[in-house]
Amino acid sequence: MKVNYIIVGQGIAGTLLAHFLLKAGKTVKLIDKQHEGAASKVAAGIINPVTGRRIVKSWRIDELLPFAEQTYQEIEKQFDIEIFIQKNIIRSFENNKQFTDWSVKSAREGMTQYMSDDYEGTALNGWIKSPYAWGEILQSGRVDVPLLIDNYRNRFVEKGILEEADFDYKQIDFSEDLVSYKSIQADKIIFCEGWQSAFNPYFSYLPHEAAKGEMLIVRIPNIKLDKLIKMGVFIVPIGEERYWIGSTYSWDDLNDTPTEEARQDLCKRLEKVLQVPYEVLEHHAAVRPVFKDRRPIIGLHPNFSQLAIFNGMGTKGASITPFWAHHFSDFLCEYSPLDDEVNVNRIIPTT
């Protein structure tokens, strides 16, 4: 069997890269074990154009966000589903200084389309504890990443182009222009493995800094929330009185096993916000792929041109992956140059 590309991993990165390669007329074979603890399977898919304590625009959001919206709308039409949900984020401020900083920055050029300081929060009275003030992040929302991945997985299975299996690096064989994996020949193997790339013998030299995150799905009855709330914890409506609550960060204990400590931490943070009862329905953990400079890792292996990596989308995956998947597809199909900010060649392997 001969294909243009073997893609290892079918999280949001592998799925969207396959989307654009197939759209370009290329043939692909995906290999994925469907680990329940994969970060994409439990992600809230939050799109947030304003981040950090310094209150700055997310990296390159002016070009990344419009492309993401366009891509998700195309996929929605293709599958007749809703995956891109536009709901603004409101974030709380505990004192006048915090709110004043927000108000000043929201009036600056280039920020007015993403920030507002006039959200009153009256719709939250009675079930959310009132802070000093609210700010609103415009053009934000969420992507239903699990629904996106599941629909594409079903499509890939129907087409016979997805193999549900672990990838065995020892089965890779190189020839002058091709690479083989078991009985499959390809122009390139592209690794979209998330944090598992730390164990990939060809890309383990990269500066991996994986972080474990835990989250809850809770039921809060008899309320209708049309915003995402950031108030010591993220409260994200996902339908049918269910809410995604998250998340935690841990740089140790890197596995997908939920812990009682994280559950209690999330519940305590949620209870500082809510004035109404809730019920915990689910508790999940996953390991996020993180690299030192917090930028995607994209490109060809420095010594084996038949191997490539598309990884490191991180917590911003919902907003940045469509643009970079298209960018990498163009590089692979049309030999257009890779952006220096994401090119894996910016990292020099150590010996």
Give the position of tokens 């993220």.
234
Residue 158 sits at the vertex; the CA angle it makes with 153 and 161, to the nearest 5 degrees, is 70
Q: Do the domains spanning 2-42+146-207+293-346 and 87-142+209-288 agree at the CATH topology level?
A: no
CATH architecture observed for domain 87-142+209-288: 2-Layer Sandwich (3.30)
Mean pLDDT check: name the lowest of 165-169, 209-213, 303-307. Answer: 209-213
H helices present in 219-351, as ranges: 260-271, 317-334
How do the domains of the chain map onto residue ranges? Answer: 2-42+146-207+293-346, 87-142+209-288
Contact 102, 135 (CB under 8 A): yes
- Calculate mean pLDDT across residues 248-277: 92
State the pLDDT at residue 37. 56
How far is it, in rounded angstroms, from Cα 131 to Cα 58?
A: 25
Q: How much is the average pLDDT of 178-186? A: 97
Q: What is the pLDDT of residue 256?
A: 85
> What average pLDDT score do residues 291-309 get?
92
Residue 20: the pLDDT is 98
Query: CB of 131 within 8 A of CB of 91?
Result: no
Residue 351 is predicted with a pLDDT of: 53
Exposure of 240 in the CB half-sphere (CA atoms within 13 A): 2
Model confidence at 54, pLDDT cuts 50, 70, 90, reads: confident
Percentage of the chain beyond pLDDT 70 is: 98
| CB atoms near residue 197 (< 10 Å) | 24
Mean pLDDT over all residues of the chain?
A: 93
Q: Which band of pLDDT confidence, cut at 50, 70 and 90, is reported for residue 319?
A: very high
Instruction: Return the pLDDT at 350.
Output: 62
What pLDDT shows up at residue 341?
Answer: 95
Q: So what's the pLDDT on residue 122?
A: 87
Over pLDDT 90: what percentage of the chain?
78
* 3-12, 34-43, 88-97: segment of lowest average pLDDT: 34-43
| 46-55, 77-86, 236-245: least confident range | 46-55
pLDDT at 36: 58
CA distance linking residue 16 with residue 156, whole number of Å: 12
CA distances from 245 to 43, 53, 232, 266 (A): 11, 20, 11, 7
User: What is the residue whose two structure tokens read 């990165």?
Assistant: 13
**Residue 35 confidence (pLDDT):** 66
CATH 3.50.50.60 fits 2-42+146-207+293-346, yes or no: yes
Residue 238 CB coordination number (10 Å): 15
Answer with the residue of higher pLDDT: 309 or 196.
309
Residues 128, 90: Cα–Cα separation, whole Å? 12
pLDDT, tens digit, 9 for 90 and up, residues 97-134: 999 999 999 999 899 999 999 998 888 988 999 999 99
Q: Which residue has the tokens 């690096």?
A: 169
Alpha-carbon radius of gyration of the chain = 21
Q: Residue 197 region, left (φ>0) first, then alpha (ψ -120 to 50), else beta?
A: alpha
